[in-house]
A = this chain, B = another copy of it.
């Protein structure tokens, strides 16, 4: 299962692996691997981009006639799609696999090129013990850069129990023997990485973040599979499983005082399995960021990236967000936010608090106070609106010399910046980012830690129209939650409920509508507003699929 088998050898074009799959480039990939009693085929489809280690392809060479037909017709023909259906036997089982090779277009925009590399593959697999998950998505490149700064990843990852140094606990020996005798469990994983100032950090994160999550979970294999509460302290310094008896009361004393049978840890806090997974994902982001820092020189990694990852594990979705991507669940027509954005505006108080406590980080160039606009020197002594780290409202203050410095947080909405430099405040990378022509580092103000929200799939009976949507800001800048929910419902109702392609078509429709159509006055949405000029990536993940039908 671990060796890669290349079915199609066109580099960067169509590429199918067995076993672990991973991809990068302006393309999409879908993986589904072994799960409980079953082992699944998975397929990686990539279009118009470059796989790691492959030379970038010239998009024009791939499109041929399309590009020659000019922007308008390219756009039209690009929307067509080709369905290829593969029925492949494997290991005595049959898997229906639909690989829908989507449209690819190469279009001109404002005199430049605008790729719209779109690829998708739906993997249909009969799973009885786990909720059926059908990853479907779209990635589009606005042409801002040769490498798409939006990167995506979709994986099924096996978390193998770390070998114990002192032998395993017999009672836990029998569980989780999933993978040819290897003990562990699987998690499903989808992630979007929206790069900035280069695609380097995004590419690396798309290749590695799930491995860091896997690494963090390896110590928890036994603990997560044991229904009793996680042990607060592990008896031995092994990495495999707990050893503290859960129910034995300890005393407050530390051994020097005789044990007087007073129950010890009366303030002991209960820690849930769920919060261990959250902690594992949080620390995985930190390790990912550290790896980017370590290898940025040798690997020539440029820039940073927002990261939005969904992990499906033991009946729950863990949605981790660091940046301005967004995830929502649409359930029975209702919108359930699964993330919030981290921007200079939403994190203003955290940043101001840090700057207030560590003014040296501002390099004497910036003030931690926020003002609604730049102050002119001649306004000294007048009263200006301001707010500090403690305020959400505004008040007037008399302008002093120090207030003439540039504000740490400046601008509004998409134009808001930290130290006039960056518009997102969480994510991976950016270790070399400095204020323009200065030696002031931005990184101390950026956090690599995500906020993780949990959605318990078992708490609600989901229908085939219930989905989790992940999207980069290219989608959300021009399409709000309600509009996305509208598109989801509109497209899904036009397909049979048991047709896995319907989710792919939702993702395509969301991307295409957010990009808009090229008119005389630029790319325009249906409402004639400006379309997104950014890379757009969308995952549409069904929460109740065909496998669930009665």
List chain A positions with a Cβ less than 8 A from chain B.
Answer: 216, 219, 230, 232-237, 250, 252-255, 264-265, 267-271, 274-283, 286, 350, 353-354, 357-358, 371-379, 381-385, 387, 390-396, 398-399, 410-412, 415, 447, 449, 451-452
Q: A286: which B residues are within 8 A, CB to CB? A: 390
A393 and B279 within 8 A (CB): yes
Q: List chain B residues, Cβ under 8 A from A270.
A: 372, 412
Closest residue of chain B to A274, judged by CB? Answer: B393
Question: Is there an interface contact between A277 and B393, defined as CB atoms closer than 8 Å?
Answer: yes
CB-based contact B447/A376 at 8 Å: no
Given contacts A235-B382, A382-B233, contact A393 B278 (CB under 8 A): yes
Among the listed B230, B232, B390, B411, which residue makes an inter-chain contact with A373, where contact means beta carbons less than 8 Å apart? B232
Q: Bound state CA distance, A41 and B26, in angstroms?
A: 72
In the complex, given contacts A233-B384, A237-B382, A391-B449, what are 4 additional A-B residue pairs having Cβ atoms less than 8 angstroms apart? Answer: A233-B379, A234-B382, A252-B374, A281-B393
A-B residue pairs in contact (CB < 8 Å), sample of 14: A216-B395, A232-B372, A233-B375, A233-B379, A233-B382, A234-B384, A236-B382, A237-B383, A267-B410, A270-B372, A271-B394, A281-B393, A350-B353, A357-B358
Is A276's CB under 8 angstroms from B234's CB?
Answer: no
Partner pick for A372 among B264, B271, B350, CB 8 A cutoff:
B271
Contacts of A379 in B (CB 8 A): 233
Given contacts A237-B383, A357-B357, contact A254 B378 (CB under 8 A): yes
In the complex, what residue of chain B is closest to A353 when comparing beta carbons?
A: B353
Structural contact, A233 and B268, CB atoms closer than 8 A: no
Q: Would you call A385 and B254 a contact (CB within 8 A)? A: no
Beta-carbon contact of B383 and A233 below 8 Å: yes
Cα(A286)–Cα(B393), bound, Å? 13
Q: Which chain B positions have C-beta within 8 A of A234?
A: 382-384, 396
Given contacts A252-B374, A267-B412, A286-B390, contact A395 B233 (CB under 8 A): no
Complex Cα gap A282–B271 (Å): 36
| In-complex Cβ contact of A278 among B233, B392, B411 (8 A) | B392
Flag if B376 contacts A254 (CB, 8 Å): yes
A268 engages B372 (CB within 8 Å): yes
The 4 lowest CB-CB distance pairs between A and B, nearest first, are A278-B393, A279-B393, A279-B395, A269-B372
- B384 and A232: CB pair below 8 A? yes
Report how far A371 CA is from B232 CA in the complex, Å: 9
A278–B394 Cα distance when bound, in Å, is 7
Name the residue of chain B whose CB is nearest to the CB of A277: B393
Contacts A254-B376, A282-B393, A395-B283 hold; do A267 and B411 have CB atoms under 8 A apart?
A: yes
Please indicate the chain B residues that have their CB under 8 angstroms from the CB of A350 in the complex.
353
Minimal beta-carbon separation of A232 from chain B (angstroms): 5
Q: Across the interface, which residues of B come within 8 angstroms of A373, CB to CB?
A: 232, 264-265, 267-269
Considering the complex, give the chain B residue whose CB is closest to the CB of A358. Answer: B357
Complex Cα distance A16/B370, Å?
46
Task: Among B235, B267, B271, B452, point to the contact of A385 (Cβ < 8 A).
Answer: B271
Give the residues in chain B near A254, CB-CB below 8 Å: 376-378
Select which of B235, B374, B391, B410 is within 8 A of A282 by beta carbon.
B391
With a CB–CB cut-off of 8 A, which chain B residues contact A267? 373-374, 410-412, 415
Q: Are B372 and A282 in contact (CB under 8 A)?
A: no
Residue of B nearest to A265 (CB): B373
Which residues does chain B contribute within 8 Å of A233, judged by CB atoms?
Answer: 375, 379, 382-385, 399
Q: How far is the CA of A254 from the CA of B373 in the complex (A)?
A: 13
CB contacts (< 8 Å) of A253 on chain B: these are 376
The CA of A384 and the CA of B415, in the complex, are separated in Å by 43
A372 to chain B, nearest CB (A): 4
CB distance from A254 to the nearest CB of B (A): 4
Contact between B390 and A449, CB atoms less than 8 A apart:
yes
A377 to B366 alpha-carbon distance, docked (Å): 46
Find the B residue at minimum CB distance from A276.
Answer: B394
Residues in chain B near residue A372, CB distance under 8 A: 232, 268-271
Contact yes or no, A393 B237, CB < 8 A: no
Is there an interface contact between A451 and B378, defined as CB atoms closer than 8 Å?
no
Q: How far is the CB of A262 from chain B (nearest CB, A)?
A: 13
Report Cα–Cα, A280/B234, bound state, in Å.
Answer: 51
- Asked if A282 and B390 sit within 8 Å, CB to CB, the answer is yes
Residues of B within 8 A of A399 (CB): 233
List of B residues within 8 angstroms of A375 by Cβ: 233
Contacts of A281 in B (CB 8 A): 393
> What are the residues of chain B within 8 A of A279 when measuring CB–CB?
387, 391-395
Q: State whether A392 touches B255 (Cβ < 8 A).
A: no
On whether A275 and B378 interact (CB within 8 A), knowing A265-B373, A268-B372, A353-B353, the answer reads no
Q: Which residue of B lies closest to A345 (CB)?
A: B269
- Nearest neighbor of A286 in chain B, beta-carbon distance: B390
* Residue of B whose beta carbon sits closest to that of A350: B353
A371 to B237, CA, bound (A): 18
Which of the residues B216, B394, B396 comes within 8 Å of A219, measured between beta carbons? B396
